[in-house]
Amino acid sequence: MSESATIVDLRSDTVTRPTPAMRRAIAEAEVGDDVLGDDPTGIELERRVAALAGREAALFVPSGTMGNQLAIRCQIEPGDEVLLEAESHIFFYEQGGVAANSGGLAHVVKGTRGALDPACIEAALRGEDDHNARLALVCAENTHNRAGGAVVPLESLRLLAAAARAHGLSVHLDGARLWNASVASGVPIRDWAAEADTVMMCFSKGLGAPVGSILVGDAALIRRARRARKRWGGGMRQVGILAAACLHALDHHVDRLADDHRRAHALARGFERVAGVSVIAPETNIVFVVLDDPSIAPDAVLRSLASSGVRMSQYGPRRLRAITHLDVDDAGVARAVVAFEEACRAAARGSRVDAPQGPC
């Protein structure tokens, strides 16, 4: 049996392997040269996602990071400010790309469960004085990864976007997991997309494709993003090979995200029963566990889990993350719960044995 068949890998929803049906779709893809504008499968994917999002155009990109960074590059001038949630992926995990790729200044504000308060826009504006940087772009994230896969409510995004527009600012939505937000809330992708100038969505996370993300927006902006993508080395040739996997994911892997959400709840219920830990209630496919008991060391838990064939990741000094996805079934969830309970018990026991002993 292959390693992937025996390991319950909850580190991320990016670890999925293409299913046999997806591999067939890849093998049979009709391809051309996308840089020359004639890869039919790449064109079909961009057309289909633009329509799904109710926007004029779309651009296929190799990664969510490139999609986010292109959106920023196309909507600010060097020296402009970008308003970001303090725990957003763009601020936390994109290597200062706002500055490095676009010459922008990150203005970060703490949100609530990932949602920015629209009042923070007014507070961030500093007037026309020539000393000041100009706030040009507001970025939101949905679902919000570091807020535990929280769904930022549509109404909250609407109010944020309205406040941004009232001041002539653009809005970008990092929707790496917008599919999860849509399935969990029942709100169609196009309703979220209507609130932003640009939206980035990933196929390589819950949808289970090996590679690929997409940026949607109006035709002129996507044209500029296409040029910038080429300059950044992201022009791909027989891109239909990748796009076929994404089209297959759109056909077969969107509705099933509800199974991932159900399994995340099952994981959370199992983890909650373990003494000394608390769980941040999941809304989608991400479960955060906080090791409240100081005698349970995160690295010891992760090591013990790994020895039972279960992988999770550390997300803060005392916080672990588990994400459900296409390659985790009900049996995997049950195994992870048992392994987690045992790992916490063993870690607590170990720390008591290791604790310095006083004079007897």
Ligand X SMILES: Cc1ncc(COP(=O)(O)O)c(C=O)c1O
Residues at the contact surface with ligand X, assessed by CB under 6 A: 63-65, 68, 89, 141, 145, 174, 176, 202, 204, 213
Closest approach, Cβ 353 to ligand X, in A, equals 37
Closest approach, Cβ 293 to ligand X, in A, equals 29
What is the C-alpha to C-alpha distance for residues 328 and 207, in angstroms, rounded to an integer? 13
Helix (H, G, I), strand (E, B) or coil at 84: strand
Which tokens hold the place of 29? 């893809």
Nearest to ligand X of 149, 240 (CB atom): 149
Nearest to ligand X of 42, 149 (CB atom): 149
What is the C-alpha to C-alpha distance for residues 43 and 58, in angstroms, rounded to an integer? 9
Nearest residue by C-beta to ligand X?
64
Helix (H, G, I), strand (E, B) or coil at 212: coil
What are residue 172's DSSP bridge partners? 139, 198
Nearest to ligand X of 18, 270 (CB atom): 18
Nearest to ligand X of 149, 270 (CB atom): 149
What is the C-alpha to C-alpha distance for residues 248 and 251, in angstroms, rounded to an integer? 5
Task: Say which amino acid occupies 353.
Answer: V
What is the C-alpha to C-alpha distance for residues 48 and 29, in angstroms, rounded to an integer? 16
What is the C-alpha to C-alpha distance for residues 23 and 268, in angstroms, rounded to an integer? 32
Nearest to ligand X of 204, 324 (CB atom): 204
Residue 124's Cα: distance from chain center in Å?
Answer: 26
Closest approach, Cβ 64 to ligand X, in A, equals 3
Nearest to ligand X of 63, 313 (CB atom): 63
Closest approach, Cβ 262 to ligand X, in A, equals 21
What is the C-alpha to C-alpha distance for residues 325 and 328, in angstroms, rounded to an integer? 6
